[in-house]
Structure 1
Amino acid sequence: MRNWFLISGLTSAMLAVSAMPLYAAEKTMTPHFAYVGTYNPNGEGVYRFKFDPKTGALSEKTLASQLPNQAQMVLSHDGKTLFVGSEIDNYNGGKHGAIAAYRIAPEDGSLTLINQVDSAGAGPVYLSLTPKGDHLLVANYISGIVAVFPVAADGKLSDASNSQQDSGPAGAGKPAAAAEGSFAVSDHNGPHAHMIATDPSGKFVFSTDLGLDRIYQWKLNAKTGVLEANNPPFISASSAGAGPRHFVFHPNGKVVFLINEEASTLTSYRFDATNGTLTELHSLSSLPAGFKGTNFAAGIVLSKDGKHLYVANRLHNSIAQVSVTGEGAMKWIDETWTRGDYPRTLTLSPDGKYIYAMNQRSDNITTFKVSPDSGKLTFVDRYVAVASPSQLVIAP
């Protein structure tokens, strides 16, 4: 009997020891979180989700912040801070929007406000960080102003170190390269800055202006946070009235792909890394052959391997798949219905296996699996209810 108790005790002890690493791993495993910015009145602010990297599922929706029209966001490179643009028009009694910095709690993904600053313009619609993460770049759409904000090590924002006002004649009233029957003629009435971001080195900056049909070229003084006009200071859009919107760099750093909102065309550019300038290469439509009518092209993402470009088509309600090369060549491949209405942006999961469509007018997010071989999209039979979603970011 004593031997039985001895064996039993040893067995229990061994089971307990063997279970400890598993339990410890579960306890120390860091959860993944995702954040969705929304527009009022349907959207109430920024929503936090738990993100499952294995299945791509978004779950446990929680309202994390309630500043009005918190639609545009960017995460710090270490995933500890979330920067959000609030498209209010009366920050501190003025006529500008606000930029907020939030600290992310690693245990539950909750947000704590660090501080807010004036966006230095009206309608902050795009935020990006320099490669070192020490400056935040903001494009203010309504006023056509781009600005630079110093970022402290703890994520705190300083007031803008520099702002630049786009100016010049408005672009053509009708997009020359749009599909037959298109009435995509919005906002060619003055400057409307739509995106701003650096090149991979952080030395040069590009910003698009939809209203003026221009891509501005800047040099960034990393010490002072000041934008200096490059030579030439801007290039014209690939076609009259095209409405340059968003762009992405190819992984090789030699080519830029840009979506034109009004014309629904993609344009590739060669990037001169020495001088920080762009040279136009090719253009093609983001819509299938034979399409007639109005469409507004929007979000753009590039696959991890740099072989497949995906574009959100609003009104057509599709995601276009375009094969691309590191030399700037492009070929339209396929289209996928978004299962929603008016896809504003697309988000690629960190591992590149899933793409999410922010369907602004149908108040939902839809998920698509990306084929690692062909790049084709397959709808994952899963809808996420979010009111007027604008942008999704996934924390590391």
Structure 2
Amino acid sequence: MRWSHGHGGGRGDTAADGSKENHVHNHISASVALLLAIMLIAAGAGGAFLYTKARMPRSFVSTSQMETVTVETSAFDDSHTVSVTVPQSTSQSVTSPVTGTVTRLDCTVGGQITSGSACLSVNETPVLMLYMSVPPYRSIAPNATGRDVQALNNELRRLGYGAPDSATMTWDTITAFNALAASVGSPQLLQDADWMLDPSMFAWLPQPSVTMSGTALTYGGEVMQGQELFTTSIPPTSVTFSRAMSGGTLAAGDRTVTIGGADYTVPDGQSTVNDATIVNAVLNSPEYAAAVSSSDPSATGVQVSYIWKLATPLAVTNVPPASLYDVQDGAGCVVADGRPTAVSIVASQLGRTMVTVDGGGSIGSVDVPPSSAEACR
């Protein structure tokens, strides 16, 4: 019985030991399988990472490595909108040189009155309108000298008469004035009056041409010497071009401005322009008319915009901004065709910098970034 129990017990123990063995074996196998799975997942993730890196967009890849870039030249006219300030017209009175009755009145409000003309008569005598840069303040006798005499001679010559280019009243001055007076029927210089030119012989105009803006004259009415004949609207004689820019500076050189469909040249560096051709073009342009209609009448000036550009376009080289070094005050360096080269910066647009080579010459390629920091000047 003891042996039988012991033998039976041995078979039980053996079965139990086998079950434990199988359990351990299965546990090890599961662990190995788990470890292998983890390794496979890691390997897959690594492969995916490498694959992703291989397909990474170029925009995320470092570009610090130097490369040589071929560059191109182009014409640059530096076209911009320019703001022009036009002063408001000024007003001034024209007074009567004589006393009497208005017997002819051809002057109309809004009409032009020019130097050398006579649009009204007093006591049947035409009143000569005459511009002088210096207002008349005295009687001028033969051989008299002064700024007023120079102004008289200048205006007589401008009107086409043979007055001298001097500040002295000569016989040529007398002859020229009498020819002008005769052309409109106004009083002439007489020997009986010692060839004296008196301010009562003409009405002084503040400009060669004025616009009548108002008058109290009536046909048949009376006027007194020194009384206002009419008021004038004097157009501006100069306009100002703004050279300020919100970013960068204007390229140097004469500029062509388009006004009313025509082109005019503004000299390099000039802001205030008193060229009568340009001023009149501005005053008669549709752009100015539109600006005046929407401006404040009490303002001292009117702002109007035009397009201007370089009269002679520049030949520039377009380089990447990253190719420049030692940049200061519009000048810089590039490594061009393998050597440091001095350039002047003209402008920057759309991610490119336009330069000209100092001293002339051309550029075929530049290093980006520069392969050298060697001074170029």
Instruction: Note whether the superposition's TM-score is higher than 0.5.
Output: no
Q: Which has the larger Rg?
A: 2
Larger helix percent:
2
TM-score (norm 2): 0.20
Larger strand percent:
1
Which of 1 and 2 has higher RCO (CA within 8 Å, sep 6+)? Answer: 2
TM-score (norm 1): 0.19
